């Protein structure tokens, strides 16, 4: 495929076809000289599409706001020592639970790797071109308080967090939510129920949730929209922060 002139390149850039232009520029004339025109076009399109999808995935990961952007389910250490089930993690890595609008709970002691696992799942979702977002519950509450001070802010807040196909809420129930926060959580879980998937990273076992949520009707309703369609993963008591610190000492 002969080199494009400046005008043709300008038109491609104007059409936001930068990946296609780059693929054309990078095509090796010597290696592709024996190919037909159609075969060369197909190779250029394949290369451009690969670059486009790579850029799209990078953008999804960047916008997801991951606490650990390099988290990787394939590099989970000490599975046996931590009591983690490799088959369960492999299944979660397929993101089929998102397709089924199911939830995931990572529950375990401080330092047991809950946040890392939540970020690793969100990153896998991004690699599957699924719109994901990570947020700590204290930050979610802060954003909710700020939203209520702006005209229409509460509605915009709920629409934003209901729209993520996968939402990871870290430090779930670390602090007992206020009445306003419980009302928001009920509305948010109602909007997400049966439509999207949520990952909860928490120190608290399911039996403690009701009391942490205020032990009232809001607690009943919030839990009812979470617990019936959820994979529960116990991350155990093994402190990975301590293990990492010892390994690097």
- The pLDDT tens digits of the residues spanning 65-83 come to 999 999 998 888 767 778 7
d(CA 114, CA 170): 8
d(CA 170, CA 148): 22
pTM of the full structure? 0.78
Of 140, 170, 171, residue with least CA distance to 66: 170
Contact partners, residue 47, CB within 8 Å, separation at least 6:
23, 26, 27
Question: What does each C-alpha distance from 115 to 16, 27, 124, 136 come to in angstroms?
Answer: 37, 42, 14, 9
What is the pLDDT of the chain when averaged over all its residues? 86
Q: Are 190 and 222 in contact (CB under 8 A)?
A: no
DSSP label of 174 = S
pLDDT tens digit sequence for 29-43: 545 556 666 766 676
Question: What does each C-alpha distance from 53 to 57, 98, 102, 201, 216 come to in angstroms?
Answer: 6, 20, 26, 29, 47
């Amino acid at each position: 495929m002969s080199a494009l002139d400046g005008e043709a390149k300008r038109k491609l850039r104007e059409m936001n076809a930068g990946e296609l232009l780059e693929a054309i520029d990078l095509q090796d004339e010597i290696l592709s000289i024996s190919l037909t025109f159609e075969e060369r076009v197909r190779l250029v399109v394949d290369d451009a599409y690969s670059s486009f999808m790579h850029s799209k995935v990078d953008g999804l990961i960047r916008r997801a706001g991951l606490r650990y952007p390099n988290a990787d389910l394939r590099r989970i250490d000490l599975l046996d020592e931590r009591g983690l089930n490799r088959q369960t993690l492999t299944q979660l890595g397929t993101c089929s639970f998102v397709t089924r609008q199911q939830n995931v709970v990572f529950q375990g002691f401080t330092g047991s790797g809950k946040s890392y696992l939540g970020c690793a799942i969100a990153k896998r979702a991004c690699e599957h071109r699924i719109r994901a977002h990570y947020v700590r519950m204290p930050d979610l509450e802060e954003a909710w308080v700020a939203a209520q001070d702006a005209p229409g802010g509460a509605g915009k807040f709920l629409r934003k967090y209901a729209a993520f196909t996968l939402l990871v809420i870290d430090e779930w129930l670390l602090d007992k939510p206020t009445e306003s926060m419980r009302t928001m959580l009920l509305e948010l879980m109602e909007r997400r129920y049966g439509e999207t998937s949520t990952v909860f990273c928490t120190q608290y076992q399911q039996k403690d949730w009701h009391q942490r949520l205020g032990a009232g009707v809001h607690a009943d309703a919030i839990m009812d929209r979470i617990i019936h369609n959820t994979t529960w993963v116990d991350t155990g008591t093994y402190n990975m922060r301590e293990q990492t610190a010892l390994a690097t000492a």
